[in-house]
Structure 1
Amino acid sequence: MDNPNDVKELIPEFFYFPEFLENQNGFDLGRLQISKERVNDVVLPKWAKSPEDFIYKHRKALESEFVSAHLHEWIDLIFGYKQRGPAAVEALNVFYYCTYEGAVDLDAITDEKERKALEGMISNFGQTPCQLLKEPHPVRLSLEEVERRKSQLDSCPLNMFEHLGNLKSFFVEGICDNVPLVKAVVPKNQSHSFISQGSPDTMVTVSQNCLVGTHGWLPYNKNISNYFTFIKDPAVSNANCSSAADTGITSRLIVSLVSLADIVTCLSTDHCGIHLISGSRDTTCMVWQVLQQGGAPVGLHPKPIQVLYGHTDEVVSVGVSTELDMAVSGSRDGTVIIHTVRRGQYMRCLRPPCDSSLPLSILHLAVSWEGHLLVHTCLEGKATLKDKNTLHLYSVNGKHLCSEPLKEQVTDMCVSGEYVVIGSEQGYLSIRDLYSLSLSAEPMAMRVPVRCVSVTKEQSHVLVGLEDGKLIIVGVGKPAEMRSNQITRKLWGANKRLTQISSGETVYNTQQDSN
């Protein structure tokens, strides 16, 4: 590594593809000359527990604050003012002359042997990139400087996963009293006109009695004395809890889903709202294309783009990633099957490990941005919670990475970045590390069973729907900027009464419990 004539660089696989470090196919790679030991998997350094851990730590190092602080130096060498001239000589950044752009005009060389010789040199030594900058590249802002600037913006929520020790819980009543809240989500794709820029996003809630609400949502605004702004949809204030069809706010997408309710057991959409996957009692799954207008979903294509088979029992959990071309389904037959989205091609079947002879069901699934697959299994017929529920983590290529037994009955879970958020029948909200599945913070007691969990697009809040119809909002506040009962900024399009705005000051008392 100290030889200046031996230019080394790490290929991209060092940061995302642990499989290249293993001889999974058992090829005969020969033996070492001295010890005669058979060559097999790559020998990892002592600081890496596994190929996955090796790649994870490499990626962490690449994305570290230290690398960010020195990124400009690399840019100066490769694309900047230290690529050529006296600055390049001083930085020992000089290469063979043929590698530089414009150093040789191959078209002007008439001698074929000379031209081929130069082409061979260029092919051997490589090509230096185009010089883009003649001045030193500015230093990237440090994380501390970024946080300081963000705190000065009008609307800048804190990332809750960076402040797990300072989470606060607030509740919103009246979504539909004493009726379980089965879905609460802020869609990632929000359509705003030029005039309404800066206006609240839309939060969608669905109650068990099919009451659908579209509420106003701002994660934070320092001009408003709160941790968040929630503007209740007036249609859900009806004491009779009218159905979704009566509220006048039901989209064609919701109507499309309701029409499938007789056979559909589970639904999931991808991160960008392009595809929806449904599982059903007849053991099949269907992938649907979501129709959009102005960036907002308006319904489903009348025919599924894929019908997926393979399970022998009811499908109870599904997940889809358009970016990774993965359609995932879990069944009461204890298997997880992965198909491609575009062609509907079968990829693999996973059977989570289990020592019991009792039937095993795959009750929940979640797919991360990087393709990690999180699976919740439950032993059917087991009366006690001990060893009944388990989390399993798989790589994007189906390798089992780890498992973690749970002391609670999972009711919903989602993956956000490097964290897993889980709600339970016992009324706890838990946050776990995705890669180790260990608890990242003490569970928060919600006091009643949790029915749904989701993380907002800014990773600023967790939305928790409860059995009694309450919406719990968990996030990080900015106490130094709180100014009680002051609203100094107009909410664009907020034609609701101010009494319908929750100022995020109604604290929901939770207790820390390690169970």
Structure 2
Amino acid sequence: MENPVDVKELIPEFFYFPEFLENQNGFDLGCLQLSNEKVGDVVLPRWANSREDFIHQHQKALESEYVSAHLHEWIDLIFGYKQRGPAAVEALNVFYYCTYEGAVDLDAITDETQRKALEGIISNFGQTPCQLLKEPHPARLSAESAARRLAQLDTRSPNIFENLGQLKSFFVEGISDGVALVQAVVPKNQAHSFITQGSPDILVTVSANGLLGTHNWLPYDKNISNYFSFTKDPTVTNAKTQRFLQGPFAPGADLSSRTLAVSPDGKLLFSGGHWDNSLRVTSLAKGKVVGHITRHIDVVTCLSLDLCGIYLISGSRDTTCMVWQVLQQGGFSSGLAPKPVQVLYGHDAEVTCVAISTELDMAVSGSKDGTIITHTVRRGLFIRSLRPPGENCPPAVLSHLAVGPEGQVVAQTAVGQPSCSKERFALHLYSVNGKLLSSVPLDREVTAMCLTKDFVVLGMSECGLEIRELQSLRAAVPPVPMRVPVRSVSVTKEKSHILVGLEDGKLIVVGAGQPAEVRPGQFHRRLWRSTRRISQVSAGETEYNPCEGRG
């Protein structure tokens, strides 16, 4: 490592693949010469607690401010003006001449022996990339400078996960008073034309009685204490214009966040739990069923849609899962294909929760007997079966499941009889390759779950919202109290707020940050650099105080 002419580079596995540090197959790698100790797994440095932590620290280093500040220097050496010529000599960045592009024309060499010798030299020394730049590459903005620029924009709310020490809760009056709010989500890929840029997004709500709401949501303005503006859908409170998800629902299959999925463009609602074992597609604008597919032979118990809105997975009491393709028309979701792309088998009991990641080709399902099974999405191949740790009297039920951005699987288990286990509820974290990374006991049941890049957001049955670190499942902040049980949680697409649906029908909006100027009631925002201003009234400015008593 101290030889200046010996060039070394960390292979990509150092940043994503902890398994390469372990001699899983027990190969005989010999012994150390001094101690005669058998060589096996890679010995980690003292600053790493585990192989996973070692890789995670490398990921953090690669994304660190130091690397960002010096990234242009690396570009200059590899692709830029310091690759060749006097600048390369001055930077001690000169390599064997055969490694440079165009230095040797192998096709022009007629001597076979000489040609093979040059090919061997090139293979041994490697090849320098093409020179793309002849001028110095500019440096990136520092994080501080970028933050100052963003702070000047009226269209950016603080990232809630960067301001966890400043959480505040606000409530919107009951969407359906006394009826649980089982879904509240801002779809992530809503289309806005150039003319309507800056117009409100749609916030979709579904109540336990099937009442549908499409509200206006503006997630920004630094001059409002809650940083958001919410305008309630007027059809929700008008008996003549109310839109309902068509039932009836099967016994024991009450409407919940697990049986609902909203398309990323906010056009369609996919639902299960229906009495006829169907999977239904409802137009949110009209409240009418536009698709009705019956392929499962028992009730659909859970649904999950991938981030891109390409595939949807359904689980059923018939122990199977099905992967469906979401049809597109004119750039918008228009329904489901009449036949599933894959039918996934392997469970021996009712499927209770599902999750899907098209990018990672993962379809994950959990069942009532505590088994987690992973298949591929595109070919439907079985990958692995997992069973979370714990006593098996009776087996723990998988009640919630989610897949992280790097393929992590987070699962919550519940034991039906408290007498069998002191720790009735637990949360488990698995790596993309099925290794158990962490298990933590919970003193209450998880009723809703969603994941971000670095955090797990949990809604609890005993009136609380928890935010935990994804890498370790440790609590990132103390629980945010709620008066009544939580029925749904979601994170807005800007990561500016957490939307919490409660048992009493209230929508709680959790945000963060301290605005420099507070002008409650309304805000003004300059539009298109003109003197014309628009005004919006915020419907959720009241801070939520769970200590006022329940009701």
Contact kept? 1:367, 1:374, Cα under 8 Å: yes
User: 2:370 matched to which residue of 1?
Assistant: 334
Contact kept? 1:223, 1:487, Cα under 8 Å: yes
1:386-406 C-alpha deviation (Å, 9 max, x unpaired): 511000110001011110001
Q: How does 1:360-439 map to 2 (within 5 A)?
A: 360-382=396-418, 387-439=423-475
1:349-372 C-alpha deviation (Å, 9 max, x unpaired): 101000352331000001001000
Contact kept? 1:224, 1:489, Cα under 8 Å: no
Contact kept? 1:307, 1:344, Cα under 8 Å: yes
Q: How does 1:5-154 map to 2 (within 5 A)?
A: 5-154=5-154
Residue 157 (1) aligns with residue 157 (2): yes
Contact kept? 1:190, 1:295, Cα under 8 Å: no
Residue 352 (1) aligns with residue 388 (2): yes
Contact kept? 2:186, 2:204, Cα under 8 Å: yes
User: 2:338 matched to which residue of 1?
Assistant: 302
Contact kept? 1:256, 1:300, Cα under 8 Å: no
Separation (CA, whole Å) in 2 of partners of 1:402 and 1:257: 39
Separation (CA, whole Å) in 2 of partners of 1:74 and 1:83: 10
User: 1:185 matched to which residue of 2?
Assistant: 185
Structure 1 stretch displaced more, 38-47 or 254-263: 254-263
Structure 1 stretch displaced more, 320-329 or 122-131: 122-131
* Partner-residue secondary structure (3-state), 2:543: coil
1:222-254 C-alpha deviation (Å, 9 max, x unpaired): 477751122222221225894425997246788
Contact kept? 1:385, 1:408, Cα under 8 Å: no
Contact kept? 2:322, 2:341, Cα under 8 Å: yes
Separation (CA, whole Å) in 2 of partners of 1:72 and 1:252: 54
1:271-329 C-alpha deviation (Å, 9 max, x unpaired): 11111111111111111111223443222111111111111211111111111111111
* Partner-residue secondary structure (3-state), 1:277: strand
2:220 partner letter: Y
Separation (CA, whole Å) in 2 of partners of 1:167 and 1:261: 46
User: 1:20–1:258: structure 2 CA closer, same or farther, 3 Å change rule?
Assistant: same
Separation (CA, whole Å) in 2 of partners of 1:339 and 1:19: 20
Instruction: State the 1:91 CA deviation.
Output: 1.1
User: 2:196 matched to which residue of 1?
Assistant: 196
User: 2:487 matched to which residue of 1?
Assistant: 451
Separation (CA, whole Å) in 1 of partners of 2:462 and 2:111: 82
Structure 1 stretch displaced more, 32-41 or 323-332: 32-41
User: 1:395–1:251: structure 2 CA closer, same or farther, 3 Å change rule?
Assistant: farther
User: 1:187–1:174: structure 2 CA closer, same or farther, 3 Å change rule?
Assistant: same
2:154 partner letter: D
1:274 partner letter: I
User: 1:287–1:65: structure 2 CA closer, same or farther, 3 Å change rule?
Assistant: same
Separation (CA, whole Å) in 2 of partners of 1:156 and 1:342: 37
1:54 partner letter: F
Separation (CA, whole Å) in 1 of partners of 2:245 and 2:165: 42
Contact kept? 1:160, 1:460, Cα under 8 Å: yes
1:183-208 C-alpha deviation (Å, 9 max, x unpaired): 11111211222322222222211111
Contact kept? 1:213, 1:249, Cα under 8 Å: no
User: 1:412–1:337: structure 2 CA closer, same or farther, 3 Å change rule?
Assistant: same
Separation (CA, whole Å) in 2 of partners of 1:111 and 1:231: 79
Contact kept? 1:253, 1:298, Cα under 8 Å: no
Structure 1 stretch displaced more, 234-243 or 274-283: 234-243
User: 1:7–1:228: structure 2 CA closer, same or farther, 3 Å change rule?
Assistant: same
1:53 partner letter: D
User: 1:265–1:206: structure 2 CA closer, same or farther, 3 Å change rule?
Assistant: same
User: 1:111–1:172: structure 2 CA closer, same or farther, 3 Å change rule?
Assistant: same
Q: Any unmatched runs of 5+ in structure 1?
A: 493-497
Separation (CA, whole Å) in 2 of partners of 1:346 and 1:297: 29
Q: How does 1:268-347 map to 2 (within 5 A)?
A: 268-347=304-383
Separation (CA, whole Å) in 2 of partners of 1:499 and 1:192: 19
User: 1:112–1:192: structure 2 CA closer, same or farther, 3 Å change rule?
Assistant: same
* Partner-residue secondary structure (3-state), 2:68: helix
* Partner-residue secondary structure (3-state), 1:118: helix
Instruction: State the 1:266 CA deviation.
Output: 1.1
User: 1:172 matched to which residue of 2?
Assistant: 172
User: 1:217 matched to which residue of 2?
Assistant: 217
Instruction: State the 1:167 CA deviation.
Output: 1.1
Of 477, 496, 499, the match for 1:460: 496
Separation (CA, whole Å) in 2 of partners of 1:213 and 1:481: 32
User: 1:412–1:490: structure 2 CA closer, same or farther, 3 Å change rule?
Assistant: same
* Partner-residue secondary structure (3-state), 2:148: helix
Separation (CA, whole Å) in 1 of partners of 2:480 and 2:293: 33
User: 1:495 matched to which residue of 2?
Assistant: none
User: 1:22–1:225: structure 2 CA closer, same or farther, 3 Å change rule?
Assistant: closer
Contact kept? 1:370, 1:396, Cα under 8 Å: yes
% identity of equivalent residues:
67
* Partner-residue secondary structure (3-state), 1:479: coil
Separation (CA, whole Å) in 2 of partners of 1:424 and 1:39: 47
Contact kept? 1:373, 1:396, Cα under 8 Å: yes
User: 1:505 matched to which residue of 2?
Assistant: 541
Contact kept? 1:209, 1:243, Cα under 8 Å: no
Instruction: State the 1:482 CA deviation.
Output: 2.8
1:409 partner letter: E
User: 1:454–1:369: structure 2 CA closer, same or farther, 3 Å change rule?
Assistant: same
1:395 partner letter: S
TM-score (norm. length: structure 1): 0.92
User: 1:56–1:250: structure 2 CA closer, same or farther, 3 Å change rule?
Assistant: farther
Contact kept? 1:385, 1:407, Cα under 8 Å: no
* Partner-residue secondary structure (3-state), 2:145: helix
Instruction: State the 1:39 CA deviation.
Output: 2.0
TM-score (norm. length: structure 2): 0.86
User: 1:511–1:441: structure 2 CA closer, same or farther, 3 Å change rule?
Assistant: farther
Separation (CA, whole Å) in 2 of partners of 1:237 and 1:62: 51
User: 1:180–1:307: structure 2 CA closer, same or farther, 3 Å change rule?
Assistant: same
Separation (CA, whole Å) in 2 of partners of 1:471 and 1:321: 28
* Partner-residue secondary structure (3-state), 2:141: coil
Of 241, 258, 264, the match for 2:300: 264
